[in-house]
Chain A
Amino acid sequence: MAKITLDNLAHSYFPEPKGEEDYALKQLDHVWNDGEAYALLGASGCGKSTLLNIISGLLVPSRGRILFNDKDVTEQDTVARNIAQVFQFPVVYDTMTVGANLAFPLRNRRMEPAYVARRVQKIASMIGMEDMLERKARGLTADAKQKISLGRGMVREDVNAILFDEPLTVIDPHMKWELRTQLKALHNEFGHTMIYVTHDQTEALTFADKVVVMHDGKVVQLGTPEELFDTPEHTFVGYFIGSPGMNLIDADVSGDKAICAGHEVTLGGRYKPMSGRVQIGIRPEFVSITSQDQGLPVTVKRVEDVGRHQILRAEFEGRQINAILPEGLPIPAAPIRMKFAPERISVYVNDWRVAPDEVTATPSKEVVL
């Protein structure tokens, strides 16, 4: 197990990068703690796979260093780094039995047979394949094969880190639940440093202690799921986390008031005067509808009943605003107004969040729905 340090790291696939835009991965300086579960979250092409390949040693960065437990491993190859990795598509040794597949990384390292057998048994019970150990891996379904790949990734106890590259892509939704929970339980039990690459926010947020949100080759925020949800540091994080993402409305902010197209919105704190593009951001979860004479007037476009809640898609001054409303709440067809919980509003200047000088309303722990 190891602490992972990214020191002044950057990577370009061009031999002689000219400008910023040639870099797939821009300036990264991070220390990732030993034994924590991290998720690298971002859209495809954001650089998350590049970063994973640099950590696993398949790629040498164009600039900077990578350290495991303060030891420079930038030039070391995958084997020397002592890591395990699970790939997007199942990699199994077809001609071996399921048991031999699980034992393979241990046998290659000449572990004691008794230990190998014990370990294989444990992992097999974790992935629910105890009764299949003697079966050949060939001809199993894709999700069974991916479970074997996951098992092989976990079988060694002495690895510095376990890397997961979108491992649940081929798994059915019902199975995803089970596997993710098992991964989580395993992390709690063994405390490996885990790095999980995904574009799926639910997977990232539920799996990780800390989520690293990447956008356009940069880390835009590193935080706990709660921080990413409550205080997105960048409008991209607001948009990317949550479904639907954060509502962003252009506004003029002065003191603890924002003016959106002539309508006043109360904020949860006092702000200094600011210049640039100013927006207020509010998550759909904290938008409510009201018939009183307050809040923003909106036109209802669609109401989607998604079972445990409803998504109201409305329009305000040509911009879509979404609200998440409780199951069964009647929504009037007439023009309605939307109210925002003041303590949940963030203010953004040129896409980056600005903290208030003075907080006037504090969020309650329980989200009221």
Chain B
Amino acid sequence: MSLVLEGVSKLVEGEHHIYPTDLTLERGTMNVLLGPTLSGKTTLMRIMAGLDVPATGRVLWEGRDVTGMKVQDRKVAMVYQQFINYPSMTVYDNIASPLKLMGVSKSEIDKRVKDAAALMQLTPMLDRRPLELSGGQQQRCALARALVKNAGLVLLDEPLANLDYKLREELRAEIPRIFEESGAIFVYATTEPEEALLLGGNVGTMWEGRITQFGPTPKVYREPCDATTARVFSDPPMNFTRIEKTGDKISFGEGQSAPAQGALAGLADGVYTAGFRPDHLHLSAQGADGLHFQCHLNVTEITGSETFAHLSHGPDHWVGLLHGVQDLTLDAPIEVWLDVAHVYVFDEQGKLVAPAAFAMAA
């Protein structure tokens, strides 16, 4: 069982909302679409569901062309950011509603509803109405309704966005577990990199109507194919700076340089963009050949376990994510270290030309 998009695109008033996209999703996988608002996540999901017809291309379900087939005739379930339940029905009837429409027998309905409710920890609330529940419970009710259908394709459009932080954290941990059991294809849209990482599976990073990269989540995180992917898949955002390669040396400005080893050795001389994640900046030297920068500290934010340092380095704004609570003087110079093994190198078009050495080792 698989869902294949072949050259699917979407035009609205002559503007590309989705550029031609190829994508194959396999049975029993969790696929996260990660990207900012309006990057095309919802549009792509609507095409997968059959709510919209693509301008070009085909949608194949189990090898059969289903482009243009109505959503009612497909085995699709969808959960939205808003908690959508039938307000006048009890939780039980809400969960049972798709089964009743499918004409499933009463005893079978009862069994499946109770199983889904148990999975979603809704058993004590089956007799209540959705509006008497908390937001998290309402969304769990909507999720249970999607699950109970045994749909082959389950689409989740930012389902946790309207929930409290802590509830979100709990459901995030639950969702992969639930979905492992069902064997369906899951597509999950989110704006948050952390959520994508927690859900695991595959990720497709989206930017302005394109899937910039698709692959196993940790791989995309560690080997982003271009600067856009790296930026989308990094929270706090990835730091960038201009570098120059001459001969066997890479200079970072300020007289900082590193020997061009490994993948960097083969690069042509010229100007590149270096990118590194905030958690790879340090306040002390990490090994002998670390790079060393003079920055200006603008603001710090402390979470209790970590400190975010907002730095200026020449024209660049960087964020450093430092372990522990750091008592730093604001609006003052500060020295930071960076291991060259953590640096990604992108060319002028933003394509990755040399991945960070540590990512290749991992």
A interface residues with partner B (beta carbon < 8 Å): 43-45, 143, 172-174, 177, 180-181, 184-185, 188, 199-202, 205-207, 224-226, 228-230, 239-245, 283, 285, 302, 304-308, 311, 313, 327-328, 365-367, 369
Assess A225 versus B193: contact at CB under 8 Å? Given A185-B299, A305-B200, A366-B324: no
Q: When the two chains form their complex, are residues A173 and B191 in contact, meaning their CB atoms are under 8 A apart?
A: yes
Q: Complex formed: what's the CA distance from A79 to B37 in Å?
A: 36
Question: Could you name 17 residue pairs across A and B whose Cβ atoms are closer than 8 Å?
Answer: A43-B167, A44-B135, A143-B37, A172-B36, A173-B192, A206-B302, A206-B303, A224-B302, A225-B302, A225-B325, A226-B325, A228-B304, A229-B305, A244-B173, A305-B200, A305-B217, A366-B323
Q: When the two chains form their complex, are residues A313 and B173 in contact, meaning their CB atoms are under 8 A apart?
A: yes
Q: Complex formed: what's the CA distance from A308 to B359 in Å?
A: 12
Assess A308 versus B279: contact at CB under 8 Å? Given A185-B299, A229-B304, A242-B305: yes
Assess A328 versus B299: contact at CB under 8 Å? Given A173-B193, A200-B165, A226-B304: no
Does chain A have a CB within 8 A of B277? yes
Q: When the two chains form their complex, are residues B235 and A173 in contact, meaning their CB atoms are under 8 A apart?
A: yes
Q: Complex formed: what's the CA distance from A242 to B218 in Å?
A: 23
Q: Complex formed: what's the CA distance from A303 to B36 in Å?
A: 27
Across the interface, which residues of B come within 8 angstroms of A177, CB to CB?
235-237, 319
Q: When the two chains form their complex, are residues A206 and B301 in contact, meaning their CB atoms are under 8 A apart?
A: yes
Residue among A173, A181, A228, A241 making CB contact with B310, cutoff 8 Å: A181
* A38 to B: closest C-beta gap in Å: 15
Residue among B193, B194, B198, B323 making CB contact with A369, cutoff 8 Å: B323
Does chain A have a CB within 8 A of B166? yes
Q: When the two chains form their complex, are residues A205 and B323 in contact, meaning their CB atoms are under 8 A apart?
A: no
Q: When the two chains form their complex, are residues B164 and A44 in contact, meaning their CB atoms are under 8 A apart?
A: yes
* A330 to B: closest C-beta gap in Å: 10
Assess A241 versus B325: contact at CB under 8 Å? Given A173-B192, A308-B277: no
Q: Complex formed: what's the CA distance from A332 to B135 in Å?
A: 38
Closest 9 CB pairs of A and B: A229-B304, A206-B301, A367-B324, A308-B279, A306-B197, A199-B164, A225-B304, A205-B303, A200-B165
Task: Beyond the given A188-B299, A228-B304, please list 20 additional residue pairs across the A-B interface where CB-CB is below 8 A.
Answer: A174-B36, A174-B237, A199-B165, A225-B304, A240-B166, A243-B169, A244-B169, A244-B173, A245-B166, A304-B197, A305-B197, A305-B217, A305-B218, A306-B194, A307-B193, A308-B277, A328-B361, A365-B324, A367-B305, A369-B323
Interface residues of B in 290-305 (CB under 8 A from A): 298-299, 301-305
Q: Complex formed: what's the CA distance from A201 to B169 in Å?
A: 11
Across the interface, which residues of A come within 8 angstroms of B236, CB to CB?
177
The residue of chain B having its C-beta at the shortest distance from the C-beta of A226 within the complex is: B325
| Candidate in A200, A230, A243, A367 with the most chain B CB atoms within 10 angstroms | A243
Q: Complex formed: what's the CA distance from A123 to B4 in Å?
A: 49
* B279 to A: closest C-beta gap in Å: 4
We find that the number of chain B residues with CB closer than 8 angstroms to chain A is 44
Residue among A180, A199, A305, A366 making CB contact with B166, cutoff 8 Å: A199
Across the interface, which residues of B come within 8 angstroms of A173, CB to CB?
36, 191-193, 235
Interface majority SS (helix, strand, loop, mixed), chain A: mixed
The residue of chain B having its C-beta at the shortest distance from the C-beta of A42 within the complex is: B164
Residue among B299, B302, B325, B361 making CB contact with A181, cutoff 8 Å: B299
* B74 to A: closest C-beta gap in Å: 31
* B277 to A: closest C-beta gap in Å: 7
Across the interface, which residues of B come within 8 angstroms of A201, CB to CB?
165-166, 303
Q: Complex formed: what's the CA distance from A171 to B359 in Å?
A: 31
Assess A185 versus B298: contact at CB under 8 Å? Given A199-B164, A206-B308: yes
Across the interface, which residues of A come within 8 angstroms of B192, CB to CB?
173
Q: When the two chains form their complex, are residues A225 and B166 in contact, meaning their CB atoms are under 8 A apart?
A: no
Residue among B36, B166, B302, B330 making CB contact with A43, cutoff 8 Å: B166
Across the interface, which residues of A come within 8 angstroms of B323, CB to CB?
366-367, 369
Q: When the two chains form their complex, are residues A308 and B301 in contact, meaning their CB atoms are under 8 A apart?
A: no
Across the interface, which residues of A come within 8 angstroms of B169, CB to CB?
243-244
The residue of chain A having its C-beta at the shortest distance from the C-beta of B278 within the complex is: A308
Interface residues of B in 65-93 (CB under 8 A from A): none
Q: When the two chains form their complex, are residues B221 and A307 in contact, meaning their CB atoms are under 8 A apart?
A: yes
Interface residues of B in 122-161 (CB under 8 A from A): 134-135
Q: Complex formed: what's the CA distance from A308 to B306 in Å?
A: 12
Assess A230 versus B304: contact at CB under 8 Å? Given A184-B299, A306-B194, A328-B362: yes
* B239 to A: closest C-beta gap in Å: 12
* B205 to A: closest C-beta gap in Å: 13
Q: When the two chains form their complex, are residues B301 and A207 in contact, meaning their CB atoms are under 8 A apart?
A: yes
Across the interface, which residues of A come within 8 angstroms of B134, CB to CB?
44-45
Q: Complex formed: what's the CA distance from A199 to B168 in Å?
A: 11
| Candidate in B194, B298, B299 with the most chain A CB atoms within 10 angstroms | B299
* A366 to B: closest C-beta gap in Å: 5
The residue of chain A having its C-beta at the shortest distance from the C-beta of B310 within the complex is: A181
Across the interface, which residues of A come within 8 angstroms of B321, CB to CB?
308
Q: Complex formed: what's the CA distance from A245 to B165 in Å?
A: 12
User: Digit string of B345-362 for contact with A (CB within 8 Å is 1, else 0)?
Assistant: 000000000000010011
* B245 to A: closest C-beta gap in Å: 27
The residue of chain A having its C-beta at the shortest distance from the C-beta of B358 within the complex is: A328
Across the interface, which residues of A come within 8 angstroms of B191, CB to CB?
172-173
The residue of chain B having its C-beta at the shortest distance from the C-beta of A311 within the complex is: B198
Across the interface, which residues of A come within 8 angstroms of B277, CB to CB?
307-308
* A234 to B: closest C-beta gap in Å: 15
The residue of chain A having its C-beta at the shortest distance from the C-beta of B170 within the complex is: A244
Q: Complex formed: what's the CA distance from A369 to B322 in Å?
A: 11
Across the interface, which residues of B come within 8 angstroms of A230, CB to CB?
304
Across the interface, which residues of A come within 8 angstroms of B173, CB to CB?
244, 313
Q: When the two chains form their complex, are residues A307 and B197 in contact, meaning their CB atoms are under 8 A apart?
A: yes
The residue of chain B having its C-beta at the shortest distance from the C-beta of A328 within the complex is: B362
Q: Complex formed: what's the CA distance from A174 to B28 in Å?
A: 31
